[in-house]
Each structure stands twice: as structure tokens, then as C-alpha cells.
Amino acid sequence: MSTTAAALELDHAATDPVLQIARASRRRLAIGVVAVYASMLILGTHWPRLHLPQLPTFFSLDKVLHFSGYGMLTLLLLSLPTGIFRRPEGGYRSPAWLAAACIFLAVACVSFLDEVTQPLVSRDMDAVDWACDVSGSLTALILVAGAIAIGSLSANRSATIQPKSHVVD
């Protein structure tokens, strides 16, 4: 596809009302999924007198749930198709590291508030729970960054490998 054809296709995608409605619907659905997940996560961590079975390892099931729960929240936030890091005039996107840092800080703050408010429902505030929350979020960010790096390396490698043409004389 030529550069002009690609530009025309992008212009069409930007002005096509059906595509705009589909994009807006996907955005609303994704935001709804994140909101429901975050609500269930907060509800689960604030459920009074919740007793979880102990795992036969160093970490309890509670710590594993904190780690994986906030890691999943980070993954969901990373997948949101929102334009919150774009300027109103369009065209500019903030660096990916800035978006990742904002998401990490937001998740760390939410998990901190989660821990601080647990005594209100007869639960214990635990710094180790918060450390597991933050560790899960950071692990999710590292895994996504690694997947993106591997994907871009593989795309660059396949773009530079040209098949040899065999000319028969």
C-alpha cells in the first residue's frame, strides 16, 4: 500500500461515522469493564471478616490475590483506548513511559486508599498487602513492556529479512 493510500485510508477512518461510533462503543465498554473490575476488587478487599485458607507456602492466598488483583487492574488500565494522553489539537501522544508511570501511580494510590480504609469495615490495614498490590502492578507493567519490546524486535527483524530472488538464466 502506498503512503498516499494509507493516508487516505486513515482520513476515511477518522471521518467515517460508523467507525467513530464503533470506536466510542469500544471505549465505553472498556471503561465499563475497568469500572466493574475495580469495584469488585475494592468490594472484595473490604468484605468484613473474610477468612481465606492458608497456602502451604510463604505467602498466604490473601497476598496472592492482592498481587494478581492489582496486576490485572493495571493490565486493564493499560488496555483502555482513551485519549487522555493526547493534546486537544490532536496528533501528539505522550511517551509510553509517561502513560505507564501515571497508571502505576494511580494504581498505587488506589491500593493505598484501599488499605487505609479497611479498618472502617473491621479489616486490618497491612503494609505487606500494599506491597503485594504495588508489586503486582509493577510486574504487569514490566511484562507488557517486555512483550512490546519483543514484538517490535520481531517486527524489525522480519522487515529487514528480504527473501532472495532466484533468477534462472
pLDDT in tens, 110-127: 999 999 998 888 888 889
Other C-beta atoms within 10 Å of 45: how many?
22
Q: What's the CA gap between 168 and 161, in Å, rounded?
A: 22
pLDDT of residue 106: 94
pLDDT of residue 131: 95
pLDDT of residue 29: 86
List % helix, strand, coil for the chain (3-state, nearest 5).
70, 0, 25
Q: What is the pLDDT of residues 12-69, one digit of tens each?
A: 556 777 777 777 788 888 889 999 999 999 988 888 766 666 666 666 778 888 999 9
Task: Give yes or no for residue 142 having a pLDDT over 70.
Answer: yes
pLDDT of residue 136: 97
Other C-beta atoms within 10 Å of 115: how many?
21
Contacts of 75 (CB under 8 A, 6+ apart): 140, 144
pLDDT of residue 147: 85
Lookup: cell for 132:
503485594
98 φ, ψ (degrees, to nearest 5): -70, -45
**Separation in Å, CA 22 to CA 7, 13, 17, 84, 133:** 20, 11, 9, 18, 34
* Torsion angle of the four alpha carbons 101, 103, 106, 112, in this order, in degrees rounded to the nearest 10: -90
Q: What is the pLDDT of residues 56-97, one digit of tens each?
A: 666 677 888 899 999 999 999 988 865 554 455 555 556 777
**What percent of the chain is modeled with pLDDT above 90?**
31
* Nearest Cα to Cα of residue 76 among 137, 165, 163, 8: 137
pLDDT confidence of 137, banded at 50, 70, 90? very high
* Nearest Cα to Cα of residue 62 among 130, 141, 7, 147: 130
